[in-house]
Amino acid sequence: MSIVLGAIADDFTGATDLANNLVRAGMRTLQVIGVPQAALALDDVDAVVVALKSRSCPVREAVSDSLAALDWLRGQGARQIFFKYCSTFDSTDQGNIGPVAEALVERLGSEQTVMVPAFPANGRTVYQGHLFVGDRLLNDSGMQHHPLNPMTDADLVRVLSRQTSYTVGLLARPTLDEGSGTAREHLETLREQGVRHVICDTLDESDLEVLAAAVVQFPLVTGGSGLGQALPAEYRRLGWLAPVENAGRLVPASGVALVLSGSCSRATLAQVEHFLSRHEGFALDPLALAESDAQIGQALDFAREQLFGGDTSAPVLIYASAKPESVKAAQQRLGAARAGELVERALAELARALVNEGVGRLVVAGGETSGAVVSALGISELRIGEQIDPGVPWTQTSIEGREAPLSLALKSGNFGDVDFFSRAFDALPQERLP
Ligand code: ADP
């Protein structure tokens, strides 16, 4: 059986965000990290999201990685390709949204694609081509200060026009209001005029539904995870996708539970404090890690005793998360990059050792931290399960040397409610012990 949707995401957490929405809309979804090198079993998979690191890399690299992902996804029979980027249209005048979209359209032998970055549920809307974050225009939302891709213009037709030599068009709200037939006709008129890229207005979920119906037959669509939420209903309407009862069903989890936190974001700090008021934890300190590996050994001893010594059902936390004053102090002594590396390496090593010894349920907090743990564990694919909190699903992956799959939740810094660390484990169906 072939997959229905093949997605190419320009970063890791963006890929998970889309995959999470696809599962919620009824598609059984696999996230792969980079273009797979070996054949994958996709019998019970409806959508594959390839996570790339192409948001801020040089244009040529972004284009060639995206084309490699496209070729692989087409090889799996994907009926529609989705190029996923951030709902704040993160890019620069050089790219990479324009050049990647252009290359994908061309390789697919198509003539047009749409840009639907909006995610109304998260306050990202587009009106007359202007992107809003909540009640602020994009260039007044904080995104104008982004270190890698400052967004200083909210007019997406203008922004995209600087990234491509093709004409950029607009599908505006009044046309959407007339329904998907009129929207489709407008897109067709633009296509006849040679308009290759069309920025689409979106104010709410019903606009997303109209758009999904208008573009479901397009070989390529592009945008944020909001559109991903609306497309599966159209695939079912066309008979491409069979209804499934629980697209996020995972194998019952087994093994002891560990939380590793390298995030110092405000939400994570509150989650750490909340967890420590109920469970045991061990704090890592970058200054001690800079001296020697002794603290890694102490953390290991602590975790072994807690996880395997007595009550094996309680989760345990190992964290470097610290308040801004201590982070600043460590950074002043070691440099920000070295402090970060020391923590990431320690957490990655702990993950490798403890998963090897029987951790089967693992929550990791922090985007960079998650990247370090995923690569230390040699993970190349994640089956997406149920959402714990918006944007963070449980996932499962096979690990060499481990019989049952590892259940893994990767939480970026500011995601999740205050009780996320303990509630995550409550939300995970577990194998019944005899
Ligand atoms: P977030 O998703 O919250 O941004 P990340 O994991 O992406 O979290 O980034 C946090 C960075 O801070 C990581 O590089 C991590 O190693 C580093 N870090 C964690 N704890 C400390 C600390 N106590 N002092 C200095 N840096 C730290």
Ligand 1 centroid distance, CA of 253 (Å): 28
Q: State whether the beta carbon of 391 lies less than 6 angstroms from ligand 1.
A: no
Helices (H) and strands (E) in the chain, counts: 15, 18
pTM across the whole model: 0.93
Identify the H or E element spanning 208: helix 205-215
Ligand 1 centroid distance, CA of 424 (Å): 21
Q: Does domain 256-427 have CATH number 3.40.980.20?
A: yes
- Residue 290 is which amino acid? A
Q: What is the pLDDT of residues 370-418, one digit of tens each?
A: 989 999 999 999 999 999 998 899 999 999 888 899 999 999 888 899 9
Q: State whether the beta carbon of 416 lies less than 6 angstroms from ligand 1.
A: no
Mutate to test the pocket of ligand 1, among 16, 260, 264 (most ligand atoms within 8 A of CB): 264
Q: State whether the beta carbon of 367 lies less than 6 angstroms from ligand 1.
A: yes
Mutate to test the pocket of ligand 1, among 263, 269, 327, 370 (most ligand atoms within 8 A of CB): 263
Q: Cβ(161)–Cβ(99) under 8 Å?
A: no
253 secondary structure, DSSP code: B
Give the pLDDT of residue 89.
95
* Token pair 């709902």 in the structure block, residue: 87
Q: Is the peptide bond before 414 cis (omega within 30 degrees of 0)?
A: no
Q: What is the pLDDT of residues 216-248, one digit of tens each?
A: 999 999 999 999 999 999 999 999 999 999 999
Ligand 1 centroid distance, CA of 58 (Å): 25
Ligand 1 centroid distance, CA of 260 (Å): 12
Q: What is the pLDDT of residues 2-46, one digit of tens each?
A: 999 999 999 988 999 999 999 999 999 999 999 999 889 999 999
- Ligand 1, closest atom to CA 343? 16
pLDDT higher than threshold 80 for residue 434: no
Structure-token pair, residue 326: 């201590």
For residue 201, give the nearest of 180, 176, 165, 236 by alpha carbon.
176
95 secondary structure, DSSP code: B
Give the pLDDT of residue 29.
98
Pick the CATH number of 5-237 from 3.40.50.300, 3.40.50.10840, 3.30.360.10, 3.40.50.2020: 3.40.50.10840
Q: State whether the beta carbon of 339 lies less than 6 angstroms from ligand 1.
A: yes
- Please name the residue whose Cα sits nearest to atom 25 of ligand 1: 327
- Ligand 1, closest atom to CA 285? 23
Structure-token pair, residue 171: 């599908």
β-bridge pairing 381-389 and 124-127:
unpaired
Structure-token pair, residue 48: 């594959």
Domain spans in the chain, listed from the N-terminal domain onward: 5-237, 256-427
Q: State whether the beta carbon of 286 lies less than 6 angstroms from ligand 1.
A: yes
